[in-house]
Structure 1
């Protein structure tokens, strides 16, 4: 698949995220607690994935493949729960744009460090000038978007 198409898909996936945060915040209010909304949201995710697995006839995983794996392979589930709960709690207070730019800034900084050290099973990639400048620009953008609230 061409790189441009992969980037377009990633942009669309990113565009879904603020809708997720806003919807989950409303769900949290309706259910009376943000953690119930987190659980409900993740349950809906499971309900969406299971029929796709069945339709594609994806074989059941072999649990033996987990033996000897590093403990960090489970961090994705923890990160998902932290993100969903954070969005439920923070998006109503910050607004969608302010919350998302802060999240994106955190993602870019963490991704740069993960690439640099070769973390979570990825190949190491050096921090070159363009990657550093791009990260700094994202951080500057985060400050600019937050500026009205910061200057109060």
Structure 2
């Protein structure tokens, strides 16, 4: 499968996985009575999965490659933890759909800003009028879903 076909399919599957993850981890947190413990379990399983992937599919770079980079680049781990804890804590009482819809709205807004200004070393993709309209329509669609 070519990258032009594979990449969107993989990202679509990742998108499908987010609400499934949210529902599963929210249920685990509710059942054990601790969203933080459910988040820890999720993180440990994710860590083990990534370790297996690295060993099987992407071996090579050693741990020494982690040193010497700006500290702010590791802030992504804090954002990941925030997402895990917030979705695990809030989804059981707010609803998985509601929680994920607001996550999606946040993703649309932040992705647009990151692309527009090329933040964090990302490729700069200016928001054209058409692209801005599409983002507004997506946000409007999320609003309509919430009202319905």
Q: TM-score, normalised by structure 1?
A: 0.86
SS at 1:84 equivalent:
helix
Point out where structure 2 has 5 or more consecutive residues left out of the alignment: none
Tell me the distance in 2 between the aligned counterparts of 1:30 and 1:61: 39
Tell me the distance in 1 between the aligned counterparts of 2:84 and 2:11: 19
SS at 2:119 equivalent:
coil
Tell me the distance in 2 between the aligned counterparts of 1:86 and 1:47: 22
Which residue is 2:25 aligned to? Answer: 24
SS at 1:75 equivalent:
helix
Q: TM-score, normalised by structure 2?
A: 0.88
Is contact 1:72–1:120 with CA below 8 Å preserved after alignment? no
Is contact 2:29–2:36 with CA below 8 Å preserved after alignment? yes
Q: Quickly say closer, same or farther: Cα 1:95–1:121, change in 2 above 3 A.
A: same
Tell me the distance in 1 between the aligned counterparts of 2:113 and 2:43: 28
Point out where structure 1 has 5 or more consecutive residues left out of the alignment: none
Is contact 2:30–2:92 with CA below 8 Å preserved after alignment? no
Which residue is 2:80 aligned to? Answer: 80
CA RMSD of aligned residues (A): 1.8
